Structure 1
Amino acid sequence: MGMFSRFTDIINANINAMLDKAEQPEKMLKLIIQEMEETLVEVRSTAAKQIAEKKSLMRNIRDLEKRIQHWQQKAELALSRDREDLAKSALQEKHTCGQKLQDIQQVLTQLDEYLTAIQQDSQRLQSKLSEAKRKQEALFMRQQSATVRLKVREKAAVHNIDEAMNKFARYQAKIDRVEAQVEAFDMTESQDLDSQFRALEVDEHIEQELAQMKEKAANG
């Protein structure tokens, strides 16, 4: 059994309400369109059969009209020849054809009403189908747009992460440069201190050597 149990269900269907209640609107819309298209094919097939039936009825009507005229002429001919019995028989045939004609005309009237209703319902169904397809296209565009926007957001997030990592790398490089300056300063300061101690050691050695020279000169 399809989504719709009756043709009128489709005609009177509120597509917006159905989509609002659906957990997956895109799938629901696809099913609605499929059901409408299949129903429209069935309606057109039924209409084609009824149109063929109408043509057959029209042929029968024309044939009966000819037969009625035929028996009318026969009745007039029989009466002109003083054959009242044949005239009555001809009129009886004419009456029978006339009754058949009335029955067929009633069927034709009902068939015309049915075809008119089918045509109106088909137009409404076609309108509903067009509406559903427009919504399907709009839903597809929204989905496509949302997908593109999500990709943009994801790329932006990756860019932000990359930018943050780059900033961290630059900050780390700055710290490395400051630490290098500190190490260079410490190294220079250490070298100056060593130089001063070496100078003191040289001065002490000179003083000792000078004292030895003075002592030697005094003894000499």
Structure 2
Amino acid sequence: MGILSRASYVIRSKVNALLNRAEDPTESLDYSYEQMRDELQDVKQGIADLTTQKKRLEIQKRKLEENVEKHNRQAREAVQQDRDDLARKALEKKKSKMSQIEELEGQIADLNDTQDQLVEKKNKLQNRIEEFRTKKETMKARYEAAEASSRVSEAMTGVGDEMEDVSRSIERAEERTEEMEARAEAMDELEDSGAFEDALSDKDSIDRELEGLSTNSEVDAELETLKGELGKGEPANGDGGATNEEIDAELEDIESEMNADDLEADLDGDAEANLDEELDVELEESESEADEKRN
């Protein structure tokens, strides 16, 4: 097989495969049905034309028959008038018309036979078309049912072209989502590790550790100061230190003593001024001591 022959064979094979994939059986059946209807219409048209031709011959035959009667009358009149010559001419024309009539009758008979054959063929073709139409509708219904069943099966199993695209879209979405989640986790991890600060700062790891230690020391010192202000710090003698409750109780005792002293001062009017001064001084000292203990 030569190159051109192989190329021609391959091209024909490709074209045939494309046509097979593009062919719709329902459309092919409808097209075949229309072709058969066109053939039936041609047969009907042929019968009509044949009938028309036969009618023309019959009309011509009737005219010839009328001429035969006419020539026959002419011959009789000529004989009655002793015109044998005219009678002879009339009879000759009559004979000619009779010959034409015989010829026309033969043609009409042939046309009748042809017409009968065409009518018979037309009836057979019409019956065939009706049978084909019934079969065509049945085949179309079966094909459409099979096609619908195939689409449903492909949708259920996910092997169809469209479902394959949908499945692939879901896979791509899942892959993209996982990629974005991994990227978000990586960003959080880099941020916690200080990698972003590394990129924005010219300090090395030692500088950052020293700064961290200095910051921790400052925080510890500030915490101790805060504890000392709130009375949470540890005293130097190892005791737990005076609590706020103890300080408040001591202040209440001082106030009770001051109230008792006030009563005595009321009884002793002469020593009132001196006692007030002493109490004020003592109260101020007590409050100072309490504040110092709280601090």
**TM bin (shorter chain):** 0.5 to 0.7
Cα deviation, 1:184-211, whole Å, max 9, x if unaligned, reads xxxxxxxxxxxxxxxxxxxxxxxxxxxx
Give the aligned length. Answer: 136
d(CA) in 2 for partners of 1:154, 1:85: 100
Shift >6 Å, 4+ stretches: none
Cα deviation, 1:88-117, whole Å, max 9, x if unaligned, reads 111000001100111111110000111110
Cα deviation, 1:157-183, whole Å, max 9, x if unaligned, reads 58xxxxxxxxxxxxxxxxxxxxxxxxx
Q: Where do residues 142-161 of structure 1 align in structure 2 (5 Å cutoff)?
A: 142-154=142-154
1:32 equivalent in structure 2: 32
Which amino acid counterpart does residue 120 of structure 1 have in structure 2? E
1:131 equivalent in structure 2: 131
Contact 1:68 1:97 in 2 (8 A): yes
Cα deviation, 1:3-60, whole Å, max 9, x if unaligned, reads xxxxxxxxxxxxxxxxxxxx98656534432331221122122222111111111111
> Which runs of 5 or more structure 2 residues have no equivalent in the other structure?
1-22, 159-295
1:202 equivalent in structure 2: none
Quote the offset at 1:121 in angstroms: 0.2
Contact 1:47 1:118 in 2 (8 A): yes
2:55 equivalent in structure 1: 55
Cα deviation, 1:122-145, whole Å, max 9, x if unaligned, reads 111111111111111001111122
d(CA) in 1 for partners of 2:50, 2:157: 64
1:217 equivalent in structure 2: none
Q: Where do residues 1-220 of structure 1 align in structure 2 (5 Å cutoff)?
A: 26=26, 29-154=29-154
TM-score by length of 1: 0.56
Identity across matched positions, percent = 24
> Which runs of 5 or more structure 1 residues have no equivalent in the other structure?
1-22, 159-220
d(CA) in 2 for partners of 1:26, 1:151: 17
Quote the offset at 1:76 in angstroms: 0.9
d(CA) in 1 for partners of 2:40, 2:156: 48
Please state whether the residue corresponding to 2:82 is helix, strand or coil.
coil
Contact 1:32 1:132 in 2 (8 A): no
Q: State the structure with more CA Rg.
A: 2
d(CA) in 2 for partners of 1:147, 1:37: 28
